[in-house]
Structure 1
Amino acid sequence: VGAKWIVVSIGTLERSRDFSRENNIPVEIVYGDETNATYDALMFRRGVKQTFGEKATPESIAKRIQKDGAKTLLGVLKRWKPWLPPKQEQGFQQGGTIVFKGERAVYKWYDVSTGAHAPVEDVLKAAGAVTMA
């Protein structure tokens, strides 16, 4: 693809390293954001309503159940760790996906709620990958 992938996670450097090991992601591309600076600068959504009150949350869970019986979700839950973010309000932080070409954002996805992530095919296409679609 020629793309450089970077993962920014809420939490400490230690937790970002734990996350990379748990998910088999190279540790050198995973960064911890203790202060929420990245999430705030990108204006990702945050709040109790956005975490639990959006209809997209149960819809995304239902999609996973219909797709494969939620095998991926259940697999993640088996490995779930009770990692608490540095700030209490970060527990209600939503993320997103941004693809840059140079300094220009060519794709932006703001997670509406928990589990409502960017479609992988869209992200790969924006990054210049040849996709199956």
Structure 2
Amino acid sequence: MILVSESPMAILSLRSSSSLPLICSTISPLCSKPMLSQLPSNFSSSIASVPVTKLKSSYSSSVSPISRPRVVSARAATESFTDYREDIGEILGDVSIFTASGQRVQFSDLWDQKDGIAAVVLLRHFGCVCCWELATALKEAKPRFDAAGVKLIAVGVGTPDKARILATRLPFPMECLYADPERKAYDVLGLYFGLGRTFFNPASTKVFSRFSEIREATKNYTIEATPEDRSSVLQQGGTFVFRGKKLLYGRKDEGTGDHPSLDDVINVCCKATVA
């Protein structure tokens, strides 16, 4: 059986806990014993088993290109896009998701499609400890988004009841949180998916510098927030800024925990408000 953990590594079990450090060190340099000893204690509670057959299927059916994505800044907003069609905002607008309370909505209903500015942050799944950390940072930055007149929209993989677990236990403002159980928005935006991106991407090593933030964000963490469809844990996220239907900034997470600088995102939003 393959065990999926919300640390940036894959852990194989041979039915012996004492063999874990040795097994991990043979898989990836990230899994060496010194690295494992630094993990927060609540990381161990985020391990969920996934049937091998489902993982094989998920790994072979990546929904997005493997090439490095282009990051579009506000300054480059008028340039042609290599990764996204000019009408990507309109296409995304037709995607339906759910509020945390369970109401179905379309993206086009979430902000003014003519001149409104929205920061759309697609988390991984609601049971990802790195996403609890990102959600905490978003909550703390929300007053800055509000002051800039920007609508903050956080979307996670899972059903509305899983979203409510995160919103209640973190806590996180329910009015900003949405659920995408079928990963429709993730598919439209071509976000990365698969074993390699989830566990072995070098970009994930940055989580080792944020242990204190992760530990603080997951004080009330529960694995119950993980989607029932365990293949969903292989989904990566991304961050986007729109003005109306126009994409101003787009960034795909390269691996688990590869989050953008929120200062950069807010700067893009602020420049858009004065443009």
Contact 1:34/1:86 (8 A) holds in 2: no
Number of aligned residue pairs: 123
Letter in 2 for 1:78: K
Matching residue of 1:63? 209
Using the TM superposition, give the Cα deviation of residue 63 of structure 1 relative to its aligned residue in structure 2, in angstroms.
3.0
Q: Among all aligned residue pairs of Structure 1 and Structure 2, give the percentage whose two residues are the same amino acid.
A: 29
Deviations 1:77-96 (A, max 9, x none): 43321133142221111101
Q: 1:12 to 1:39 in 2, by over 3 A?
A: same
TM-score (norm 2): 0.42
Q: Which has the larger radius of gyration?
A: 2
Deviations 1:63-120 (A, max 9, x none): 32xxxxx211112343321133142221111101111111111111111111110111
Contact 1:20/1:27 (8 A) holds in 2: yes
- State yes or no: 1:110 paired with 2:252: yes
Which of 67, 78, 93 lines up with 2:219 in the alignment?
78
Q: Distance in 2 between matches of 1:26 and 1:61?
A: 24
Q: Distance in 2 between matches of 1:86 and 1:7?
A: 20
Using the TM superposition, give the Cα deviation of residue 21 of structure 1 relative to its aligned residue in structure 2, in angstroms.
2.3
Deviations 1:39-58 (A, max 9, x none): 11111101110011111112
Deviations 1:13-52 (A, max 9, x none): 1111221223332202211111111111111101110011
Letter in 2 for 1:61: V
Q: Which runs of 5+ in 2 are unaligned?
A: 1-147
Q: Which runs of 5+ in 1 are unaligned?
A: 65-69
TM-score (norm 1): 0.84
Within 5 A, what are the aligned runs for 1:45-64? Answer: 45-58=192-205, 60-64=206-210
> What is the RMSD computed on CA atoms of the aligned residues?
1.5
